[in-house]
Amino acid sequence: MKTLFFIFGFFILSIFLSATIINVPGDQPTVQQGINVAVNGDTVLVQPGDYQEMINFNGKNIVVGSLFLTTADSIYIDSTIIRYNINWNYVVTLKNNESCEAMLIGFKIGQGGISSKGIHCSNSSPQIKYNHIDIGGPYGIRCDSLSSTLISENLIENADRGVQISYGASPTIINNKISNVGKGIFVSNSSATIISNEIIGSSGVLSRGIETGTASTLFISSNSISNNQIGIQISNNSQSEIINNFITDCLTGINCLVAEVRMINNTIVNCEYNGIDIPWLNQPEIINCIVWGNPTNITLDSQAFISHSCIEGGIPINSIDLGGNISRNPCFINPNANDFTLLVSSPCIEAGTIDTTGLYLPEFDLVGNDRIQDGNGDNIFIIDMGCYEAETITDPGYISGTISLLGGTGNVEDVNVGVGAPVHPDENGDYLITIGTSASPYDVTAWLDNYLPQTIYGVEVLSGEITENVDFELEYYQPDTFLEFTPDSLFFITQVSQDFKIKNISLIDVNINAITFAYITGSFYYYPYNLPFPQLLTPNDSLECIIYLDLPTLPENRELLYDSLFVVTDVGQFTIPIIWDSSLINDADDNTIQLSELNLKNFPNPFKPSGAGRSPETTINYQLPEESKVQLTVYNIKGQKVKQLVSSSAGQLSAGEHSVVWDSRDNNGKRVSSGIYFYKLKVGGYQKVKKMILIK
């Protein structure tokens, strides 16, 4: 902090050496009157007080600052207030080609979340620094029309959008804290450099930390983002470099919609739904990332290029593995205390890409360590996975031994052996591990595909010494069957639900990555809806759920129909046959309504906002062949109820055509996120489901 104030003090001195100082209220009674008499290069110095006015720089390249400008004492920020809450005008305006020599420093803009607008920069490039912007209206700071504003060291809170960027603006947003806002930073048709900000959402708001609208280019580096519905959302043909960020406690960490994205050295943990969600046909790159502790770590409807990343449960089955990926516990120092730096035994240390050319990495990690260090003391500097870099080990210890392979045709040089990041033995099976000693003793593990892994526990390591003869014999193992399914075929002949069990009968761990259905003749789902995938099954572990037959497409006549359930794992895909009797549905209600008669559909689909500030809307139409009790409900992709649109349980709806508009809000009136949703129409004893896609 002393260094910061020294630098800031030097900055202040350079301003005052050539400036005329206009004191407010000493020389002029209001801030605006001070600006009015100032000329380029002057400083308007404002004493503490409550100034209820709007100010406009009027094209002048001047400094407007509180006594924070002369003292670096932050007490003057909150005691020097400029506010105006009539007709929602902007409190501060810079829109007449002001250059970077125009500065607003050290004020509280707005007061206590009272509705107004904060700062508007248009066709200008000022510096907005060290302010507390407390606005209850739509914008904390808005930059548009080719503005290249520097927004630095500000606290921005309570606005609908902390920073709004549009119409070709290109600001730099650095070292700000943005909290309790609907969208921390929103960018549309613009570019932005977003570095080292802390963005904290609100549990009561469907918030985004950083979001793009249409055709934007973002450089997002070294930010800490938490408690948002979506940490970072990139959409609508935008391009982004997402580098060295920490994202935690969101519903979804990163969401990529029709976007070109590279994700490099990010740590994404403890999100409620997804770590990374990629629902559209884009092909992002994921490099050197840690994605851990999220119920679904990566949701992928297309292909992703993934390398040197630590993904819990392994990389998705349809991704492109470029090598270096692991699924071992990253060994955070103290995740319960929100400390996600890496233990000396972490497999993520020295496990990133050897060549970091073109990755645009910052000089330091999020806690100030050099971004690339020698994390295990072997005198080789390789970047770690994730957003934190382990400190250089200066006095390591060593573990050595010999590895033998029993049976099979494996190559001993391909064996992985290690405490943290693995090493490989030489052609004779001899290996040497270099490691810091602060966490000794260690558990050392050796593993190779098609061989049983082996762990030697409690190996003591001393600085400067070699712990020898830590030897392994890996036994060849190629089971005929990894999993046992009970039942091995699903028969829905007399009932519409069945218990289903998956048991690991092998001697190795198996990750269940997904349970899916063919949906050829009918519709099926599993319960609980929110089963976390990937799900690790250690030997003899089981996964149990209930499989339901739901909403089939009925044939003309009663018949047996055939479908399939797929269990997708890291050891292959398994198919479970489904046989069901169409009479199950016919017997459910004597009042036969053919589902095709309901004519259920929605338009538009996909649907998106029809104008600025408007909620996306779609109209759901259906037709009742007779008077019926009706329920129409919207569900998200997890099977969770989002909105009850129609419920006629107290009476019946008349025969004929009906329609209802869904405005993309849930039962609490909050806007939902982009994605896939299902709407289910229940008429008497019959149900029909269709899919719709929401794009923002």
- Give the Cα separation of 555 and 385 in Å (integer): 54
What's 397-475's CATH class?
mainly beta
What pLDDT was estimated at residue 13? 46
CATH superfamily of 483-586: Immunoglobulins (2.60.40.10)
Provide the whole-model pTM.
0.77
Summarize pLDDT for 408-436 with one digit per residue, the tens. 999 999 999 999 889 999 999 999 999 99
Summarize pLDDT for 193-241 with one digit per residue, the tens. 999 999 999 765 678 999 998 889 999 999 999 999 999 999 888 889 9
- Give the Cα separation of 415 and 275 in Å (integer): 30
| Closest-CA residue to 102 (of 127, 70, 122, 131) | 127
- Give the Cα separation of 319 and 321 in Å (integer): 6
Regarding beta strands 230-235 and 43-46, do their DSSP bridges make them parallel or antiparallel, or are they unpaired? unpaired
Summarize pLDDT for 641-689 with one digit per residue, the tens. 889 998 876 568 888 889 999 999 888 888 888 777 878 888 876 777 7
In order of 321, 425, 447, 450, 539, the CA distances from 478 in angstroms are 23, 23, 14, 6, 14
Regarding beta strands 267-269 and 290-292, do their DSSP bridges make them parallel or antiparallel, or are they unpaired? parallel
Residue 51: φ, ψ to 5°: -100, 105
What pLDDT was estimated at residue 7? 46
Q: What percent of the chain has pLDDT over 70?
A: 91
Locate the domains of the chain by residue range: 397-475, 483-586, 595-694
- Give the Cα separation of 285 and 306 in Å (integer): 6
What would the DSSP string read from start to end of 286-311?
EES-EEES-SEEEEESS--EEES-EE
User: Cβ neighbours of residue 309 under 8 Å, at least 6 residues apart?
Assistant: 286, 287, 288, 289, 290, 291, 315, 324, 325, 326, 385
Amino acid at the residue 686:
Y
What pLDDT was estimated at residue 213? 86
In order of 49, 165, 214, 645, the CA distances from 211 in angstroms are 36, 10, 10, 29
What pLDDT was estimated at residue 588? 40
- Taken in order 518, 522, 523, 524, the sign of the CA dihedral is negative
Q: 620-645: buried (b, 16+ CB within 10 Å) or exposed (e) per residue?
A: bebebeeebebebbbbbeeeeebbeb
Tell me which residues of the chain have a pLDDT lower than 50.
1-7, 10, 13, 17, 553, 586-593
In order of 210, 376, 442, the CA distances from 422 in angstroms are 36, 11, 13
Regarding beta strands 656-662 and 618-624, do their DSSP bridges make them parallel or antiparallel, or are they unpaired? antiparallel
What pLDDT was estimated at residue 560? 77
What pLDDT was estimated at residue 613? 63
Tokens of 99: 């250059």
What pLDDT was estimated at residue 137? 86
What pLDDT was estimated at residue 594? 52
Average pLDDT, whole number, for the chain? 88
| Closest-CA residue to 164 (of 200, 206, 117, 132) | 117
Regarding beta strands 675-683 and 630-636, do their DSSP bridges make them parallel or antiparallel, or are they unpaired? antiparallel
Tokens of 691: 């899919």
Beta bridge partners of 435: 397
- Give the Cα separation of 102 and 539 in Å (integer): 66
CATH code of the region 595-694: 2.60.40.4070
Same fold across 397-475 and 483-586: yes
| Closest-CA residue to 569 (of 474, 639, 636, 485) | 485
User: Cβ neighbours of residue 2 under 8 Å, at least 6 residues apart?
Assistant: none
Q: 513-533: buried (b, 16+ CB within 10 Å) or exposed (e) per residue?
A: bbbebeeebbbbbbeeeebeb
Tokens of 299: 């949701």
